[in-house]
């Protein structure tokens, strides 16, 4: 079953979504796609974000849209690629802003696992994709599931910082209780838009300022490599 790889803490937080007809239809769709085509990420990596960032530990939610669709890239974390893989263009821009904002040197590879281990939930709105076919799994139920994830994180008692880059992510703001949590909106780091407001936006220091203002420890944004 599709949800077998989801940790128990997340299963409890998402039990209504997992029992829904939408998720059951999604299971059938993804199973059929894996039989017919190459699908990323692998079944093993599908719920990496949830394994690396337990529900009680979420401090930041960074929302992406669609997994990378090239071989060896997607591993279940938004914007991240597998350890040892060179960062794609959007991630290169993230690293440029990271260096400019908080002085973190640009790493050689594109793995964001160190962030996930600190409570940064790197969530894509759609969790699977066919090889070489971007957005091919959009509109098949993943959005219902990940909307439920956003609502579940918004239901947490501790303040969480939601980082929403680009118009697609910002549409999800309506799912968040902005009275209890912090929502930081910004331009998407895509090469098409990064020069129109992403560079110089200082999102990483803004996240840490928001966390500390709510009595929560900041994120150590350093990456290996």
**Under a CB-based contact definition with an 8 Å cutoff, are residues 104 and 221 in contact?**
yes
Q: Tell me what pLDDT residue 225 has.
A: 54
pLDDT tens track for 40-96: 999 999 999 999 999 999 999 999 999 999 999 999 999 999 999 999 999 999 999
Does residue 62 sit in helix, strand or coil? strand
What whole-number distance in Å separates Cα of residue 77 and Cα of residue 29? Answer: 21
Q: Tell me what pLDDT residue 77 has.
A: 98
| Helix H or strand E segment including 163 | strand 161-165
pLDDT per residue as tens, the chain (225 positions): 899 999 999 999 999 999 999 999 999 999 999 999 999 999 999 999 999 999 999 999 999 999 999 999 999 999 999 999 999 999 999 999 999 999 999 998 999 999 999 999 999 999 999 999 999 999 999 999 999 999 999 999 999 999 999 999 999 999 999 999 999 999 999 999 999 999 999 999 999 999 999 999 999 999 975
Task: Judge whether 57 counts as a catalytic residue.
Answer: no
- Domains detected in the chain: 2-214 (3.40.470.10)
Q: Tell me what pLDDT residue 118 has.
A: 98
Which one of 45, 66, 144, 157 is the catalytic residue?
A: 66
Question: Helices 203-213 and 89-102 meet at what angle, rounded to 10?
Answer: 60
Q: Tell me what pLDDT residue 224 has.
A: 75
């Amino acid at each position: 079953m599709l949800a077998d790889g989801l940790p128990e803490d997340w299963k409890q937080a998402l039990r209504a979504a997992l029992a829904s007809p939408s998720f059951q239809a999604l299971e059938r769709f993804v199973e059929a796609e894996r039989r017919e085509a190459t699908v990323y990420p692998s079944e093993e990596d599908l719920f990496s974000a949830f394994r690396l960032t337990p529900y009680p530990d979420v401090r930041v939610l960074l929302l992406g849209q669609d997994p990378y669709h090239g071989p060896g890239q997607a591993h279940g974390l938004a914007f991240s690629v597998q350890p040892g893989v060179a960062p794609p263009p959007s991630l290169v821009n993230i690293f440029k802003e990271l260096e400019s904002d908080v002085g973190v040197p640009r790493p050689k590879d594109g793995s964001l696992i160190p962030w996930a281990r600190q409570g940064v939930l790197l969530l894509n709105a759609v969790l699977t994709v066919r090889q070489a076919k971007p957005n091919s799994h959009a509109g098949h139920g993943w959005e219902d599931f990940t909307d439920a994830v956003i609502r579940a994180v918004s239901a947490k008692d501790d303040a969480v910082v939601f980082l929403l880059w680009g118009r697609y992510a910002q549409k999800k703001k309506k799912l968040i209780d902005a009275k209890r949590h912090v929502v930081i909106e910004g331009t998407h780091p895509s090469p098409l838009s990064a020069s129109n407001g992403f560079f110089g936006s200082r999102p990483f220091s803004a996240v840490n300022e928001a966390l500390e203002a709510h009595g929560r420890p900041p994120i150590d944004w350093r990456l290996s490599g």
